[in-house]
Structure 1
Amino acid sequence: MIRIITWNIQWGLGVDGTVDLKRLVSEARDLADFDVLCLQEVSDNFSDLKGNSGTNQFAELAGLLPGYTAIEGVALDIPDGTGGRRRFGNMLLSRLSVAQVLRYTLPWEAAATRNMPRLLLEAVVETPSGPLRVMTTHLEYSSDKLRRAQVEGIREAHRTAYERMVTLREDGPGTYALFPTSRSAVLTGDFNMRPDDPVKQRISEPFGNDAPALLDAWQVAHGSRPHPHSFCLYDQSNGAPHCCDFVFVTGDLADRVRRIDYDQEKQASDHQPVLLELDM
């Protein structure tokens, strides 16, 4: 069995107004002895974010989890005006062996609302049952148009991954070497849309090339039972409590979903962590 946690950490800013990554990692460990931790809203050199000292959180989180391979998924990379860089995005930490890592820049259409670049981070991890693609992302908050485009980007990344899996490709030396991959995948993240949003439902639509569909793991395990709230439980400044954090699994993994749990007690972020347990 493997355990995967996804969590929008809001750069470690808890409900109490304190940024504390040690607390966050401790609470993730309290939820489960996780094999893979997928994080969104990790920052580096952003001291103007509420409560943030401007430290490199990618490095800090890697240091808090020795024995885990730390993979950065920087979506926003801009100058700080003093010769340095300011970075913001996703992160994946795995104590399972990691093969190839891919970073997909998602479509960034023109939109009048405030917005920023978004990324899909993918790592192939070695499980007892073989390689598994684990993906994490964070979609745009303020624009339905951008979310629609980004969902199409995710679908295209998954489609092409399947095509590479089923196409016999010539091996080669150095940069052309083949690495293990898989048709099986887990997609996690903060999708900034509610369960009944047609854009969210688009993620699970069939593919024309026989790539396995991405199914909502909560619905796989619980059918039509409503998703637990994952956002705005303790602070309603962004609306009433609702669910916008999801985990998807490819159809071939549906019968391996042992448990999916939305922890509604944690207060180390404005989002709640989600745990997936898979028989592998």
Structure 2
Amino acid sequence: MRILSWNIQWGRGLDGRVDLARIAEEARNFDADVYCFQEVAVNHPGLAGMPPGQSDQLAVLSGLFLGFEAIYGVGSDLPDGLGGRRHFGNLILSRLPILQVFRHLLPWPAEPSVPSMQRAAVEAVIAAPEFPGGAVRVITTHLEYYSASQRAVQCAALRAIIDEGWRHAVSPRFAEETDPPFAVLPRGEGCVLCGDFNSPAGAPEQATLTAPGDAPALVNAWHVAQDAVPPAPTFGVHERRYVDAPACYDIFFVSANIADRISRVAVDEGSKASDHQPVLLELS
């Protein structure tokens, strides 16, 4: 199973041009089974570089990945002033069957001294009979940039989401209700959490994610695959607008019960199609 995580900055490359076809072309070079994109915009014509006719990025990307099911999780949901909504969130595209979908709003404590927005995580339960519990939970997210304290509570919430999913996997619900909404499907005992954590790998606020919980602990997949090699940078590689030096902001965490299946983690440091670099995880 190959999973790609990429903050695509609504398709805006370092040349200032929004080009979703370029994003799709570079992403398809990885031949991933599952794509996790962050910063996907719908009805945001005012974003820098947004060309006319591409404001529904969910529809455009879905059309560029034929044969993939698209699951969109909205964080920022605002009025457009014309009776419609402006959305900003995370997108999962999967060519493997998706059994269940969960959209999680993350905590957003008031902090008036810094800019911030509502953040979310989207979870797709991917059918995978060869994995524990018959499925794998793939969760992608994009945490707050401006506030370490907000990131800390968001990481704690993600840990709780992962623990709850694992409890559902090992203790399936009562199954005698026959109405379709009560269907009991595999939840998967293993979990992959990826996305833009908006702080370098190993930052203090991420400690909650790798701490013991009900579910098997999470491990940084890079450290499993690359041992003592420092994580490759994924942000600030070609542009120093927000950071003084390149750092690894885009991370794959994998639950310890499937960590032995990690065969490869790779960063494409050459791409300039976004201000972040795409990251690939391979599970055997």
Q: TM-score, normalised by structure 1?
A: 0.96
Q: Secondary structure at the match of 1:237?
A: coil
Give the whole-Å Cα distance in 2 for the aligned partners of 1:62 and 1:78. Answer: 22
In the other structure, the counterpart of 1:137 is 141
* Counterpart code for 2:196: D
In the alignment, is the contact (CA less than 8 A) between 1:69 and 1:93 conserved in 2? yes
In the other structure, the counterpart of 1:47 is 45
- 1:163 pairs with 2:170: no
* Counterpart code for 1:273: P
Q: Secondary structure at the match of 1:275?
A: strand
Give the whole-Å Cα distance in 1 for the aligned partners of 2:94 and 2:67. Answer: 8
**What whole-Å deviation, never above 9, does each CA across 1:88-146 have from its counterpart, x for those lacking one?**
00000000000010011100101121000011110011125131110000000000110
Q: Secondary structure at the match of 2:111?
A: coil
Alignment partner for residue 260 of structure 2, among 250, 255, 264?
A: 255
Which runs of structure 2 are paired with 1:83-98 in the superposition (5 Å)? Answer: 83-98=83-98
1:48 Cα deviation from its structure 2 partner? 1.3
In the alignment, is the contact (CA less than 8 A) between 1:36 and 1:95 conserved in 2? yes
Unaligned runs of 5+ in 1: none
Q: Secondary structure at the match of 2:16?
A: coil
Q: Secondary structure at the match of 1:238?
A: coil
- 1:270 pairs with 2:275: yes
In the other structure, the counterpart of 2:227 is 223
Q: Closer, same or farther in 2 for the Cα pair 1:19/1:168, shift >3 Å? A: closer
Give the whole-Å Cα distance in 1 for the aligned partners of 2:75 and 2:20. Answer: 20
Over aligned residue pairs, what C-alpha RMSD do you find? 1.1
Give the whole-Å Cα distance in 1 for the aligned partners of 2:41 and 2:107. Answer: 21
In the alignment, is the contact (CA less than 8 A) between 2:40 and 2:58 conserved in 1? yes
1:60 Cα deviation from its structure 2 partner? 0.7
In the other structure, the counterpart of 1:103 is 103
Which runs of structure 2 are paired with 1:171-250 in the superposition (5 Å)? Answer: 171=175, 172=177, 173-207=179-213, 209=214, 211-239=215-243, 240-250=245-255
Unaligned runs of 5+ in 2: none
In the other structure, the counterpart of 2:2 is 3
Give the whole-Å Cα distance in 2 for the aligned partners of 1:121 and 1:199. Answer: 20
1:166 Cα deviation from its structure 2 partner? 2.1
Q: TM-score, normalised by structure 2?
A: 0.94
1:179 Cα deviation from its structure 2 partner? 1.4
1:241 Cα deviation from its structure 2 partner? 1.2
